Amino acid sequence: MTTAPLFKRVALIGFGLIGGSIARGARVQGLVSEIVTTARSEKTRARVAELGLVDRVVATNREAVEDADLVILCIPVGACGPVAAEIAAHLKPGAIISDVGSVKGAVVRDMAPHLPNGVHFIPAHPVAGTENSGPDSGFAELFINRWCILTPPDGTDPEATAQLRAFWAALGAKVEIMTPDHHDLVLAITSHLPHLIAYTIVGTADELAQVTESEVIKFSAGGFRDFTRIAASDPTMWRDVFLANKDAVLEMLGTFTEDLSKLTRAIRRGDGEALFDHFTRTRAIRRGIVETGQDSAAPDFGRPHANLAKKGE
């Protein structure tokens, strides 16, 4: 089903998994009149043009943002500050400037100082993705029934927030608003720590594979296979995520390590009851998520943590 365009010109800075999925979804839904994107290498520009998903593909971010009503940075979080500085003087007054970064506090800190008065800065994070990257990896359905978290700073024009909310809702997302700090704490446990664990376990298994002569690969089914998918995620993106969300990740890692120690002790002592109770509780959590249809990255998933309680709760 198509709807009337919500924006005239949208600039997508970066055409990888997320930029490419936004372009595809916006095209399918008829959400914008014109899409302009940046691709820095000639090879990628040629590929993006060949895909036929955008109206124009240009070489510089400055050119891309000219006269755009909505600008979305779809690039690694570490690149957001420098790109904000690069495009600031070329933004159309009244434009909405957003991003899709997996970390919000650092993006706000790095981008906001560069942006001129008269534009609406509304950071966003679609909590949906895959381990793939690049211009061919996107798909129009990526955001359907997934969360998109907006973190508008205090004093943001509610009309601009409503427009961006409508855009993400039209791509199929369930939109939620929270502060950057709360976002970063929640995502540290629901997304960043799981990736760190996957990167660790696959690395450890790889080292052990040398001892077991590749049996790790031979028997990689079920749980381990799932970890290898996550551990295949983009190295640049995830380097930037861990550097940008250092404090929250370290805090969650501390709690996780304590919990791991408790399970380690239960195994060492042969405490079957402790293990059984723990696994029963985690099974109930998974089943509760599935039954309530929240198995698409529920933001407040998991055991209550003092700092995860929303304000006023």
Ligand X SMILES: O=C(O)C(=O)C[C@]1(C(=O)O)C=C[C@@H](O)C=C1
Ligand Y SMILES: NC(=O)c1ccc[n+]([C@@H]2O[C@H](COP(=O)([O-])OP(=O)(O)OC[C@H]3O[C@@H](n4cnc5c(N)ncnc54)[C@H](O)[C@@H]3O)[C@@H](O)[C@H]2O)c1
Cβ 190 to ligand X shortest distance, Å = 7
Find how far residue 28's CA is from the centre of its chain.
22
Q: Around Cβ 248, how many Cβ atoms within 10 Å?
A: 23
Q: Which stretch binds ligand X (CB under 6 A): 104-112, 129-137, 270-278, 280-288?
A: 129-137
Choosing among ligand X, ligand Y, none, which partner's interface includes residue 110 (Cβ < 5 to 8 Å by kind)? none
Least Cα distance to 102 among 306, 243, 301, 302 occurs for 243
Q: Which is nearer to ligand X, 11 or 198 (CB)?
A: 198
Sole binder of ligand Y in the list 31, 35, 53, 76 (CB under 6 A): 76
| Span of 200-208, 219-227, 233-241, 279-287 interacting with ligand Y by CB under 6 A | 233-241
Number of residues that bind ligand Y (CB under 6 A): 28
**What's the rounded Cα separation, in Å, for the pair 74 and 72?**
6
- Triad 75, 308, 72: Cα angle to 5°: 20
Distance CA 26, CA 6 (A): 10
**Residue 105 engages ligand Y in binding (rule: CB under 6 A):** no
| Residue 242, φ and ψ in degrees, nearest 5 | -70, -35
Q: In the complex, what is the shortest distance from the CB of residue 150 to ligand X, in angstroms, rounded to a whole number?
A: 14
Tokens representing residue 117 in the block: 């008065």
Q: Is 131 in the site for ligand X (CB under 6 A)?
A: yes
> 116: which residues sit within 8 A by CB, 6+ positions away?
88, 89, 91, 93
Q: Which H or E element spans position 218?
A: helix 215-218
Instruction: Between 209 and 232, name the residue whose CB sits nearer to ligand Y.
Output: 232
Q: Does the footprint of ligand Y cover residue 245 (CB under 6 A)?
A: no
Binding mask 2-41 for ligand Y (x = CB under 6 A): -----------xxxxxxx------------------x-x-
- Do the Cβ atoms of 191 and 126 come closer than 8 Å? no
Residues lying near ligand X in the complex (CB under 6 A)? 102, 127-131, 191, 230, 233, 297
Binding interface with ligand Y (CB under 6 A): 13-19, 38, 40, 61, 74-77, 79, 83, 100-102, 126, 129-130, 133-134, 137, 234, 237, 241
